[in-house]
């Protein structure tokens, strides 16, 4: 059973998780972090710079969960750019040590295997930050994803494209496909930290934490992991 921590607000959650990440970096300056995009992890990234003062972050490694396929890498909403803007630059990390799955069409055939190999070569992820989609997806593992899946190309659901349209000028601009770490990849991280805020996530959180373990709700895969922390506000916890 996951450890569930209910906090008053997203900023408190961010501070809590940032404390843990800072402690990991202090203990191992080469720690491998699992990074997530979306709005949910932002409070963690915003809380981190103050906690990293005085720590050597030059050797920290990181792997993002997912990327859009075929998006112009220069597009501000490509996850490569989001991670650079929200994480790498403000935290002063070495961009060479922070990887995002490669969504370029030319190399997409082996991009998943390459990414798995890079994670394995780094020794695996120590702490994986996770958000959750309103349909229960983690990374971009939409309902129906295999619990054993590794990094691969997936089709985005209409719901997720709708949810993410706010980051683009129109829904037509939201890519149709993505490359995402699989549920199997995510489950190999040594500590999963799932964050969720707001009423809109309440059902997905309840399903992930205490519903049936089912591919229909990919977040429920966390129940198969021995070390999971779920950090939520009251609204996101309201159906637990
Ligand atoms: C996005 C991302 C996920 C994220 C989720 C929730 O599509 N691929 O990694 O957890 O949807 O997004 P948000 O945190 O903005 O609610």
Centre of ligand 1 to C-alpha 120, Å, is: 24
Mutate to test the pocket of ligand 1, among 37, 103, 130, 179 (most ligand atoms within 8 A of CB): 37
pLDDT (0 to 100) of residue 73: 86
Residue 137 falls in the annotated catalytic set: yes
Give the residue, by CA position, lying nearest to ligand 1 atom 5.
133
**CA nearest to 35, candidates 111, 76, 90:** 90
Q: Do residues 176 and 155 touch, judged by C-beta distance below 8 A?
A: yes
**Domain boundaries in the chain?**
3-233
CATH topology of domain 3-233: Rossmann fold (3.40.50)
**CA nearest to 79, candidates 175, 222, 171:** 175
Residue with tokens 């990849």: 185
- Taken in order 133, 136, 139, 145, the sign of the CA dihedral is negative
pLDDT tens digits along 205-228: 999 999 999 999 999 999 999 999
Q: Which of 67, 116, 126, 137 is catalytic?
A: 137
Residue 142 falls in the annotated catalytic set: yes
Cα gap 233→149, rounded to integer Å: 30
Residue 28 falls in the annotated catalytic set: no
Centre of ligand 1 to C-alpha 85, Å, is: 17
Residue with tokens 């997720």: 160
Cα gap 73→70, rounded to integer Å: 8
pLDDT tens digits along 134-190: 999 999 999 999 999 999 999 999 988 998 999 999 999 999 999 999 999 999 999
Cα gap 213→106, rounded to integer Å: 36
Centre of ligand 1 to C-alpha 54, Å, is: 31
Average pLDDT over residues 37-65: 97
Cα gap 230→100, rounded to integer Å: 24
pLDDT tens digits along 53-110: 999 999 999 999 999 999 998 999 999 999 999 999 999 999 999 999 999 999 999 9
Residue 135 falls in the annotated catalytic set: yes
């Amino acid at each position: 059973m996951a450890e569930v921590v209910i906090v008053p607000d997203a900023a408190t959650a961010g501070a809590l998780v940032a404390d843990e990440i800072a402690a990991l970096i202090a203990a191992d300056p080469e720690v491998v972090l699992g990074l997530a995009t979306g709005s949910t992890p932002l409070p963690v990234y915003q809380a981190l710079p103050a906690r990293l003062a005085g720590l050597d972050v030059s050797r920290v490694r990181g792997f993002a969960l997912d990327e859009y396929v075929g998006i112009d890498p220069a597009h501000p909403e490509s996850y490569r750019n989001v991670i650079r803007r929200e994480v790498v630059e403000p935290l002063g990390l070495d961009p060479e040590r922070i990887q995002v799955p490669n969504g370029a069409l030319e190399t997409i055939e082996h991009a998943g295997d390459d990414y798995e190999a890079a994670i394995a070569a780094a020794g695996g992820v120590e702490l994986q930050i996770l958000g959750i989609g309103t349909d229960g997806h983690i990374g971009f593992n939409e309902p129906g994803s295999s619990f054993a899946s590794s990094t691969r190309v997936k089709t985005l659901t209409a719901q997720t494209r709708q949810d993410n349209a706010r980051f683009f000028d129109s829904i037509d601009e939201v890519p149709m496909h993505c490359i995402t770490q699989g549920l199997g990849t995510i489950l190999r991280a040594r500590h999963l930290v799932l964050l969720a805020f707001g009423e809109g996530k309440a059902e997905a959180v309840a399903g992930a934490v205490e519903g049936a373990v089912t591919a229909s709700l990919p977040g429920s895969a966390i129940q198969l992991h021995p070390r999971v922390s779920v950090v939520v506000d009251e609204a996101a916890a309201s159906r637990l």
